[in-house]
Amino acid sequence: MRFLLFATSVVLMLAPWAVSAQDESGSTEGAEAEAQAEESEEQRRVRRLGDMVGSDTDEFDIDFENLDMPAQPVEDVPEVSLPDPEQDAELQRLLRQLAFVPNDQETLDALSDLLDQVEADIDEALAQGDLALAQQLAGVMTEVEPDRAIIGEVQAAVERENSIGQTLQQAAAALEAGRLTEPAGDNAAELFGQVLEMEPGNETAQAGLVETHQAIVADAVSMAREDMDFEGAEARLVQAEGVHESPEAVAEARDSIAQFRERHIEELHQSVLTHIDEGRYDQAEEAITELVALGHERERVESLQASLADARLYGSFEPGQVFSDQVERLGRSGPEMVVLPAGSFMMGSPEDEDDRMANEGPQHRVTFDRGFALSRTEVTVGQFAEFVNATGYRTDAEISGASRVYDLDTGRMDERSEVNWRLDYSGAEADDNLPVIHISWRDANAYVEWLSQETGRSYRLPSEAEFEYALRAGTQTPYWWGDGSPPENDMENVTGDRDVSPTGARWNVAFRRYSDGHWGPAPVGTLMRNPFELNDMGGNVMEWVEDCWHDSFVRAPDDGSAWVNPGCERRVIKGASWSSTPSMSRSAFRISSSTASTDMRVGFRVARDL
């Protein structure tokens, strides 16, 4: 301000000389008068200026060496300020001086000294992490002396801070989303690591790596416990070790996984035994495979494999073993079952067999890869009564009101009303230990379904192949005992020329010189067993099997399964009865009947999967 007042005074002091030079062509008198008037006006103006700046004449004492300073600034004064008041005042003073005298070296040196202090303040702010202050000071530096290197350092620090912030956000998002180590470039471990490379002591990144490490360890434990992926769990723990150093946590996780693995192996071992016992062989094999992968003891694995191999053949049984399943509702055992061995045989009759029927061929080999169980005897009247009493079931004979019986007086087999499963072959009341007759295929099937439900086991009617396999019992002769008449009496309940009915009748076509001592069905298990320890397979009563009727064995199954066509109305009947002639008593003999038909010669026995 003092500089401006001084400039104005100088202008005023020189003004009269300028006026006199301009009025040389006018009259002297007029010029003098005008000059006096102007001088009076100037004096008034000076007085007014004196009123503004003070009346002391020292206000105008200024070094005349500065008289060449311009009346207006040569340059604009930068609009910047420093947060330190003293530094800012000095900065403003120096900037104003430079505005009037841009190249004044003394002022430039003073400004440089001041900026050195500011640069030191920037270094301190960066060291303390006060980036906002550093940016503010660098902004002043940029306006005043933009070539200083510290400005780039601040800019780099800002960019690094921004990059750190963005990377931390990405790392936190990856951690939240469970992207712990994958995918490359966008996982928590890698992103937190990048932050620590930019700023080694970043506490947020360090804490993030700790949390990531904990999540990876937890993931490893979960892989072991929930997915049973023990190899994957170990690989995960190795990853955790690379993310953050925490040996205690990893060791604890490894120990927990190892203990769980041992428990799992033992439980898996026991599950194999349970699967085998309950017939779930595929599940048992899968569990054994898993045990091998887990490194289970070799001897114990081999023991399980041997048990499974036996079970696939015979379940939890052995060939020839006899057992009975508990019928829960009755509180007692069901039919006595015999385990038959796996094997193969030629089903049907050879073309040169005497009395052969066309429907008995072509002869073909049937192979049983697994054993099965067959009831030792036919189902008895007493056993069928338990089923009827438990369910209220009504048989086809009861519904139709009739069945076929043998007339002792005439020797004829005729249909009679009011005959059902409670009666014997002649229509008299049947004893409980007799094989149940007057039973249709549908009645027999209803019984095995009930038995399966009550025991929880897979009972069914035998297939035709299973029945013939069990009947032959390893033989290929026409009868299980060989050729011709049975060598001993009481081998099978079939027609013998020495049999006599209660009314004195004899068979016209029968085995020669043979008698089994029975006219009509005998109590089950009375006569000799065949080589498979089964009773009455070749005599006593004919029996229903599962198969639909086919008039030949062309395209018949070769695995022993039942040959069934959906909706078939005729089923196969196998075996001989008390009234069967020698030709009808052959092992290959087969006939059929409708699923609802009943007869005094037909009963059934049950099969069971092992």
Q: Residue 39: is its pLDDT beyond 80?
A: no
- Side by side, the strands of the sheet bearing 570-574 are 590-594, 570-574, 542-548, 602-603
Length of the chain as a residue count? 610
CA distances 101 to 70, 78, 120, Å, are 9, 14, 27
pLDDT of residue 556: 97
b/e map of 511-541 (b: 16 or more CB within 10 Å)?
beebbbebbbbbbbbbbebbebebbbbbbbb
Chain centre to alpha carbon of residue 11: 99
Give the span between the Cα atoms of 178 and 198, in whole angstroms.
24
Q: Residue 378: is its pLDDT beyond 50?
A: yes
- Decide if 494 contacts 398 (C-beta within 8 A): no
Give percent above pLDDT 70 in the chain: 88
pLDDT of residue 69: 53
- Decide if 528 contacts 488 (C-beta within 8 A): yes
Give the span between the Cα atoms of 272 and 292, in whole angstroms.
12
pLDDT tens-digit readout, 337-373: 999 999 999 999 999 999 999 999 999 999 999 899 9
Give percent above pLDDT 90 in the chain: 80
pLDDT category of residue 177 using cuts at 50, 70 and 90: very high
Give the span between the Cα atoms of 432 and 422, in whole angstroms.
9
Give the span between the Cα atoms of 69 and 148, in whole angstroms.
30
The mean per-residue pLDDT over the stretch 191-212 comes to 94
The mean per-residue pLDDT over the stretch 587-610 comes to 97
**Cβ atoms < 10 Å from Cβ of 233:** 23
pLDDT of residue 309: 86
Query: 50-54, 279-283, 343-347, 519-523: lowest mean pLDDT where?
Result: 50-54
Spatial CB neighbours of 609, under 8 Å, sequence gap ≥ 6 = 279, 315, 372, 373, 457, 458, 460
pLDDT category of residue 310 using cuts at 50, 70 and 90: confident
Spatial CB neighbours of 540, under 8 Å, sequence gap ≥ 6 = 378, 435, 492, 493, 521, 522, 524, 527, 577, 578
Q: Residue 51: is its pLDDT beyond 60?
A: no
Query: What is the DSSP annotation of 58-123?
Result: GGG---GGGTTS-SS-SSPPP----SSHHHHHHHHHHHHHHHHSTT-HHHHHHHHHHHHHHHHHHH
pLDDT of residue 228: 86
The mean per-residue pLDDT over the stretch 65-76 comes to 61
pLDDT of residue 70: 59
Tokens at residue 94, please? 């120096």
Angle at 108 between CA 103 and CA 114, to 5 degrees: 160
Q: Kindly report the average pLDDT of the chain as a whole number.
A: 88
Q: Residue 54: is its pLDDT beyond 50?
A: no
Q: Residue 575: is its pLDDT beyond 70?
A: yes
The mean per-residue pLDDT over the stretch 99-121 comes to 93
The mean per-residue pLDDT over the stretch 451-472 comes to 96
pLDDT category of residue 61 using cuts at 50, 70 and 90: very low
- Virtual torsion, Cα 229, 234, 235, 240, nearest 10 deg: 130
- Decide if 499 contacts 473 (C-beta within 8 A): no
pLDDT tens-digit readout, 125-164: 999 989 999 999 999 999 999 999 999 999 999 998 899 9
Chain centre to alpha carbon of residue 186: 26
The mean per-residue pLDDT over the stretch 293-322 comes to 88
pLDDT of residue 53: 41
pLDDT of residue 42: 45
Chain centre to alpha carbon of residue 510: 67
Give the span between the Cα atoms of 476 and 484, in whole angstroms.
13
Query: 13-17, 295-299, 551-555, 605-609: lowest mean pLDDT where?
Result: 13-17
Place of tokens 């049947």: 430
- Decide if 221 contacts 233 (C-beta within 8 A): yes
pLDDT of residue 340: 96
Place of tokens 């829960």: 328
Q: Residue 20: is its pLDDT beyond 60?
A: no
The mean per-residue pLDDT over the stretch 300-323 comes to 87
The mean per-residue pLDDT over the stretch 82-92 comes to 94
pLDDT category of residue 78 using cuts at 50, 70 and 90: confident
Q: Residue 287: is its pLDDT beyond 80?
A: yes
Q: Residue 24: is its pLDDT beyond 80?
A: no
More confident site: 34 or 516? 516
What is the pTM assigned to this prediction?
A: 0.56
The DSSP 8-state label assigned to residue 322 in this structure reads: E
- Virtual torsion, Cα 56, 58, 59, 60, nearest 10 deg: 120
Give the span between the Cα atoms of 445 and 586, in whole angstroms.
25
- At 545 the three-state DSSP class reads strand
